[in-house]
Amino acid sequence: MRTAHFLRALAFAGAFLCGQALAAEAAKPATSLTDFFSNPQFSDATLSPSGKYLAVRLGNKDNKRDMLGVVDLATNAVKVVGNFSDADIGRYAWVNDNRLVFTATDRDLADGDVRYAPGLYAINRDGTGFRQLAMRNGKAFITDGSTLGSRELLPWHTYLTNQEGAQDSEYIYVLNRNYSSARELINVDLLRLNTLTGRVSGSVQRPGDSYYWMLDNKGEPRLTITRDKATSSIYYRDPDSKDWNKLTDFEAYTTRGGKFRPLAFGPDGTFYVTSHNGSDTTDVYAYDLKAGKLAARPLVHLEGYDFRGKLIMNKDKLLGIRYLTDAQGTTWLDPEMKAIQEKIDHMLPNTVNLLSVPAQSVTPWLLVTAYADIWPKRMMLYNKETGKLSLIGAAHPAIKPDTMARKVLAEYKTRDGLTIPAWLTLPQGDNKNRPMVVLVHGGPWVRGGSWDWDPEAQFLASRGYTVLEPEFRGSTGYGSKLFFAGWKQWGLKMQDDIADATRWAIGKGYADPKRICIAGASYGGYATLMGLIKDPDLYKCGFEWVGVTDINLMYDGSWFYRSDMTDEWKQYGMPQLIGDQVKDAEQLKATSPLLQASKIKQPLLMAYGGSDERVPLPHGTKFYKAIKDSNPNVEWIEYPDEGHGWKLTKTRVDFWGRVEKFLDKNLGTP
């Protein structure tokens, strides 16, 4: 498979919409904070297995609670089948063509106020046959129409899987997560649940402490991954004997080792996996379970990228492969779907267009998700018979694409010779010598970005700032060399990569060297503080939220604040990836922002959540106490009910409004 570099074709293709749409932006009013940071007005829709019906999350103007609706695509009739007076519809899925399951959530509660589990409910698409299946909030939540008593409900720690299953009966598989008294996950049971009666017909025997399960294309349990201290093991379940056979082991917390990672089972039983197989990046292979080996050649190879995506299948065959390079794309193996993709791409030439196919489709309907760097997600229906597209909904309809900024993926060389990808979001108009924000992603062992509409970068660009987002060493998705190069490099070479990216942007003329601010959340917050300490000549200011301020504090925590860092992660993961408290004691001191707080003289904005369990509040309060006497230009914000990031719209609007004023004051209005 050849890599499809969407952004390189689109970002430099001239006018995106029409004529003069991208010109004369100075006269246009700035898009409001609320437009950028409100919850999506429309987020998802799912076709039923036959493709005859569409399940959608519907907004309710009267009580502002999201409801679950079903559209009959033959008549366009809409039926509300799920709603709560005190909650929103959370996840939902089709059990079969007549029945759905769904959970509850609350978009209006910050993390600190969330006191309940999601519950689990089932209902028919015509609104009949309602049944509560699992407790919500640790107790029964019986809605009118339920015939179950609380003693018959599944416990609160019952969750939906992320897999569709066979979708041909009233049964589904659900996950029962078992926790210790310290709220650490012990293992996960897989239960077969009848959504009509609410009864479990048994749990699947585990070969160990399972934490991941995979169903085959017929909806039967076929694979599990267990964890024993630092080792994860992949087991395959024989369909005849039901015996578990170990396939491979790998390091649970560093992800090293092992022949492969499971991807999916095809309709014909083929087992597909991802594997390095001697390469720097992961590819997709068929795996021979009897011979215990990979196919001779990969099914998918993406030059410069680890495979991330999924196989697109119906009940009969493998139709195509969805993957992520710089943007998402699809290679269709099915000639009909390839032709349909070409038609839709011709109709929507300026967006990435992702097609969803019902597993047992008997109708002409397909679901289309379209997006671009300047265009938030929209969802549409395509009729194969009429060749027409119809809009279902848009995530952020107030966003006008012709006012947004272009996003490109560039590369730069580090001082020690690594090639690093970096995302560059360029404001409209003259892009030379702009004030710039270096936005550092969290994780840090994640992929930072892709070619899509991002509210934070677009907001900053709309205010005239160039935004640079380097995929520094330790980032994933670009091969093992880049990932492994980041081990034990917090505050060291990882920090140098960010500084090298900044100097690259200056050298290319994108950034005014006297007007650069560094920013980020979580690990990005740590890198912000270390950047101000280590490279004071580069960064005039910094803003960070929920940032780590000391690595030892991640180990030791605070007796008064709960942390979700497990003991096993501290024992087997952190010493290898970040640093050992004993062996690397001097390094951890030298790379501690908390111990060097007095070195920061630049203006700094800090924001933390009072209910954060990933980076508990003492990270922020201890640092603020250490810096406030030596630096009068530090702004402190605490959102008591928020967790690790901002869940509420009002928090996001408040925070980014403060950022706007902070940048205006310290970098000047662009």
Does the N-terminal peptide bond of residue 444 adopt cis geometry, omega within 30 degrees of 0? yes
**Rounded CA separation 330/84 (Å):** 37
Phi/psi-derived region of residue 134, left when phi > 0, alpha when psi is between -120 and 50, beta in every other case: beta
| pLDDT of res. 483 | 97
Cβ neighbours, 10 Å, residue 635: 15
Q: In this structure, is residue 444 part of a structural domain?
A: yes
The predicted model scores a pTM of 0.92
Q: What are phi and psi of 442, to 5 degrees?
A: -85, -165
Backbone angles phi, psi at 227, to 5 degrees: -135, 135
At 399, which helix (H) or strand (E)? none
Q: What is the CATH number of the domain that holds 449?
A: 3.40.50.1820
117-121: which pairs have CB atoms within 8 A and are 24 or more residues apart? Answer: 117/156, 117/157, 117/158, 118/90, 118/91, 118/159, 119/156, 120/154, 120/158, 120/159, 120/160, 120/174, 121/82
- Would residue 470 count as lying in a domain? yes
Give tens-digit pLDDT for 327-366. Answer: 999 999 999 999 999 999 999 999 999 999 998 889 999 9
Burial class (CB in 10 A: 0-12, 13-18, 19+), 91: middle
What was the pLDDT predicted at 359? 87
DSSP string computed for 32-91: PHHHHHSPPS---EEE-TTSSEEEEEE--TTT---EEEEEETTTTEEEEEE--SSSEEEE
**HSE toward the beta carbon, residue 137, CA cutoff 13 A:** 12
CA 96 to CA 99: how far, in whole Å? 5
- For residue 518, the model assigns a pLDDT of 98
Strand (E) positions, 144-183?
158-160, 171-179
User: Which own/partner contact pairs does 491-496 have at CB distance under 8 Å and 24+ positions apart?
Assistant: 491/526, 491/530, 491/534, 491/590, 491/591, 491/592, 492/587, 492/591, 493/414, 493/416, 494/444, 494/527, 495/527, 495/530, 495/531, 495/534, 495/535, 496/414, 496/415, 496/416
Helix (H) or strand (E) holding 284: strand 283-288
Placement of tokens 């979001």 in the chain: 425
**Would you state the structure tokens that stand for residue 554, as one six-digit string?**
């991640």
CB atoms within 10 A of CB 138: 12
User: Residue 104 falls within a domain, yes or no?
Assistant: no
Q: What is d(CA 260, CA 249) in angstroms, rounded to the nearest whole number? A: 9
Which residues of the chain, if any, have pLDDT below 70? 1-29, 60-63, 112-116, 138-151, 559-560
Q: Give Cα 532 to chain centroid, integer Å.
A: 28
CB 528 within 8 A of CB 620: no
Per DSSP, the three-state class of 189 is: strand
Domain assignment of residue 453, given as a range: 405-666
**Can you give the pLDDT at residue 112?**
67
518 DSSP β-pair partners:
438, 542
User: Is residue 190 assigned to a domain?
Assistant: no
Residue 468: closest CA among 495, 444, 440, 443: 440
The SS3 assignment for 649 reads: helix
Q: Which amino acid is at 497?
A: D
- What is the H or E stretch that residue 327 is in? none
For residue 322, is it within any domain?
no
The answer to whether position 614 is within a domain reads yes
Question: Can you give 538-551 as a three-state secondary structure string?
Answer: CCCEEEEECCCCCH
- Pull the structure tokens for residue 487: 């081990």
Count of the separate structural domains present in the chain: 1
pLDDT of the residue at 145: 41
Residue 520 within a domain: yes
Q: Which of 487, 498, 573, 570 is nearest to 534 (CA)?
A: 498
**One-letter amino acid identity for 579?**
G
Length reported for the chain: 670
Neighbouring C-alpha atoms within 13 Å toward the C-beta of 178: 10
Q: Give the tokens for residue 613.
A: 């369990």
Residues 6 or more apart whose CB falls under 8 angstroms from that of 598 comprise: 626, 627, 630, 631
Residues 178 and 186: beta-carbon distance below 8 Å:
yes
239: tokens are 């369909």
Contacts for 555-564: CB closer than 8 Å, 24+ residues apart: 555/581, 557/616, 557/618, 558/616, 558/618, 560/618, 561/613, 561/616, 561/617, 561/618, 562/183, 562/613, 562/616, 563/613, 563/614, 563/616, 564/613, 564/614
Cα–Cα distance, 139 to 249 (Å, whole number): 39
Using DSSP bridges, classify how beta strands 45-47 and 53-58 pair: parallel, antiparallel or unpaired: antiparallel
3-state secondary structure of 5: coil
Report the pLDDT value the prediction gives residue 113, as an integer from 0 to 100. Answer: 60
Predicted local confidence at residue 85, as pLDDT: 83
- For residue 39, report the phi and psi dihedrals to the nearest 5 degrees: -65, 150
Burial letters for 46-73: b for 16+ Cβ neighbours within 10 Å, e otherwise? bbbbbbbbbbbbbeeeeeebbbbbbbeb
- Domain assignment present for 256: no
Answer for the pair 21, 406: CB distance below 8 angstroms, yes or no: no
Closest CA to 222 of 286, 275, 277, 289: 289
Residue 379 phi, psi (nearest 5):
-120, 140
